[in-house]
Structure 1
């Protein structure tokens, strides 16, 4: 009887190097194929270039309509049989002995979905691979990520308490779900391997490449830059004061373009102790799977708490941001949609409410001068999912057009 095909599931817990690893996977499909690994549905080059990769399983979720694009959330209430059947078919049809799927959404699967995935893949040789880190560092980083990308309004303690009650700490509750249903679960200590998560993943997964990785992949490039606790608290106040507007999201993009302020020293010993107690059994299970000497700490740190009061430098950034927004003026161009309708003769996919001024503001990496923003959106921005209008502000304000920005 032939050996079963191998299936590797990378459970990308948030803020454990997943974006860097997934960018490598999508950029290295031929290299992985020569190593006998099939990586289906890689993400486009534009995502790789911007460090926005989230895994090929997310590509499948979009392709199979499992994502509410209006809200930007996965429809976990749907029947996942179709998704898992698609994964299995891709593995069976591949001429490679191993198929690899990666995604942070794995860690958010309800237990019934994990059980179904285990049942569907019982004829495969399945290995689950995940990076873990200290629980406090994890919940702090994931809180900042939600503030950064989801408009969250809860402070740190509220966020952790709510998610602990709901069983929604991805690294700990996600681990517990997969640990129940998969035997070959390989754990990597992120803090010990974060300087080269790619090598750590390949070695742990048993993937041997036929040549060295491109130098750029190990160059220390920053993926998914984090906020500081001070910045997160400032953005929470903005989110609460300006509900329904994009101001918080705009300020986030402004902050992410600023030079890094160094290591964030925020620490909440009481929250750390509560996590360690609530997940004592789960942490013990994780530590059993880690190599000797790499176990996660099971006691709080011997240090005083460090508050997350807002840093004066972040106030200065906020003032600079609002100075920039003063370039808005009341809208005086009611013919915008009519002009866009005419431009559809050249660009059939142009949205009627496309606003080139807002497109420039919401995408600060675009060239400031000498670029045709209409053409950029049609040829590149649309595929990348770039925002092109200010929801909630576009009715009253419009970017003051200057020079040849369009």
Structure 2
């Protein structure tokens, strides 16, 4: 016996996915009347307009407090003081408005300002004066005291009037409100008049909810227009973050080179001298059949092992061959030391910048390490060409394939390293092989002028 789905299940299956919840009051206006008026968006819009009036009151109080001391100045001087006050209040008011916007817009508005490169008040002031965002915030501070209060107080007054229409007939027996006059001439005196007034208020309440939400949506759009980061500012910030990341990578790479140089010229040379000294002592004791000769020979072999480990460590930090001869020679050295035969074909007419060379070298090294550990390949290959303004490296093998970035084989870390200089990684690894890892790197970084 085959069971049939119930009518409720069929209905839910045919209903399709539920509609996405609105992210702001503008999207909420597209909902049906029942959904909008039973949601929290009209209340959030009313709260947004009401606290907007509070912000206007605080700004006006601060401005008037500053003008008390300059009322004896000439008119032009007072105008200059007003401009300075608006400029001084623009940034904190804008920050408060961006925060307050979350009442009617769940999408966070970022800070359009960038951090100064140099410390100190002077650098900060010069940067802020030159930013377009500062002058947009100044314009908003002017609008906040001249135009926006009409929207804020108008919306609050509208809802307040409707609430009074509904509540006043019920409060009159308990509170002496005086004669109730509606629309300028309608005197509310009989119970029928009170019922009619309440019905009028209830009819106007949905319209007031729509209108308040629309006013809040318009005000929020105006805030985003002036106080949100522009696309050009976002692009500039991304570019600055990219340059900053490259500078950090360059500083890290310079430190790696310094450590490699210190180990190569310091500890390694001292170990070589120690091995030579032990070799001389061992040669002098070659005729002896004593424990001293055995211990010296053992100490020499241990020192040679430490030297080999140190050279491998130096090569892992930053190989000297990469600094001296570039990527093709350094990759050829990796291939020579690989237990899997590797064919190298890298043709570069000129040297890359240091940061890109380092990323290219370690990308190939990590890829070949994965070939040895995970692929089960018999052969591998590395190719490299310049294509336009990019270096394209390909590391392939004839192994089992099936590699994925989330397998924990270092591919995600490799992708992060490549992304530092603005490169990208592409992995082609069908089950059964072959596997190809394509690394694309910029020929020049933004800071390599």
Please, what TM-score do these two structures have when normalized by structure 1? 0.21
Please, what TM-score do these two structures have when normalized by structure 2? 0.20
Higher helix share goes to which structure?
Answer: 2
Higher RCO, Cα 8 Å, sep 6+:
1
